[in-house]
Homo-oligomer: A and B are copies of this chain.
Amino acid sequence: MIARVTRAVSTRPGHAFTRRSSLQTYDVATVTLKDVAERAGVDVSTASRALSPDKSSLVKATTRNRVVAAAQELGYRGNIQASALRRGRTGTVGVIVADLGNPFIGPVLRGIAGTLGNRDLLPIMTETRDLSSALSKVCDKLLAQRVDGIITTAGRYGDRGLLKRVAREVPLVLAVRDLPGSGIPAISHDDITGGRLAAEHLLGLGHTRLAQLEGPEDIWSFEGRAQGFREAVHAAGATCDDIRRSIRLPTIDAGRQLATELLDRGGQPPTAVFAHNDTMAIGAIATFRDRGIQVPDHISVVGYNDIPLTDQIQPPLTTIRLPGYELGRLAAELVLTHIDGARSATDRVVMAPELIVRRSTAAPRD
- In the bound complex, residues from chain B placing their C-beta under 8 Å from that of A282 are 309, 312
Which residues of A (78-131) have their CB < 8 Å from a CB of B? 78-82, 84-92, 95, 100-103, 105-107, 109-110, 113-114, 117, 120, 122-127
Which secondary structure dominates chain A's binding surface?
mixed
Binds B, one of A166-174, A207-215, A258-266: A166-174
- In the bound complex, residues from chain B placing their C-beta under 8 Å from that of A85 are 13, 79, 81-82, 85
Whether the pair A87, B24 counts as a contact (CB closer than 8 A) is no
Other-chain contact of A171, B24, B100, B113 (Cβ < 8 Å): B24
Which residues of A (271-322) have their CB < 8 Å from a CB of B? 282, 285-286, 308-309, 312-315
Which residues of A (170-193) have their CB < 8 Å from a CB of B? 170-171, 183, 185
Q: In angstroms, how far is the closest chain B Cβ from the Cβ of A340?
A: 8
Whether the pair A145, B122 counts as a contact (CB closer than 8 A) is yes
Closest to A148 in B: B15
Given A28-B169, A126-B113, A314-B314, are A341 and B21 neighbors across the interface (CB < 8 Å)? Answer: yes
Residue A22 lies at the interface, judged by CB distance under 8 Å to chain B: yes
Other-chain contact of A101, B14, B107, B341 (Cβ < 8 Å): B107
- In the bound complex, residues from chain B placing their C-beta under 8 Å from that of A252 are 308-309, 312
How many residues on the A side are at the interface (Cβ–Cβ under 8 A)? 80
Given A80-B144, A88-B16, A125-B123, are A347 and B28 neighbors across the interface (CB < 8 Å)? Answer: no
Residue A343 lies at the interface, judged by CB distance under 8 Å to chain B: yes
Residue A77 lies at the interface, judged by CB distance under 8 Å to chain B: yes
Residue A143 lies at the interface, judged by CB distance under 8 Å to chain B: yes
Bound-state Cα–Cα, A260 to B169, Å: 54
Q: In angstroms, how far is the closest chain B Cβ from the Cβ of A22?
A: 3
Bound-state Cα–Cα, A283 to B170, Å: 43
- In the bound complex, residues from chain B placing their C-beta under 8 Å from that of A13 are 85-88
Closest to A110 in B: B100
Q: In angstroms, how far is the closest chain B Cβ from the Cβ of A331?
A: 15
Whether the pair A313, B309 counts as a contact (CB closer than 8 A) is yes
Residue A5 lies at the interface, judged by CB distance under 8 Å to chain B: no
Bound-state Cα–Cα, A123 to B125, Å: 6
Residue A25 lies at the interface, judged by CB distance under 8 Å to chain B: yes
Closest to A328 in B: B100
Q: Which positions in A face B, CB cutoff 8 Å?
A: 13-16, 19-28, 77-82, 84-92, 95, 100-103, 105-107, 109-110, 113-114, 117, 120, 122-127, 140-146, 167-171, 183, 185, 252, 282, 285-286, 308-309, 312-315, 338, 341-345, 347
**Sample (10) of A-B pairs whose CB atoms are under 8 Å apart:** A13-B85, A13-B87, A14-B89, A21-B344, A81-B85, A82-B85, A85-B85, A102-B106, A120-B141, A313-B313
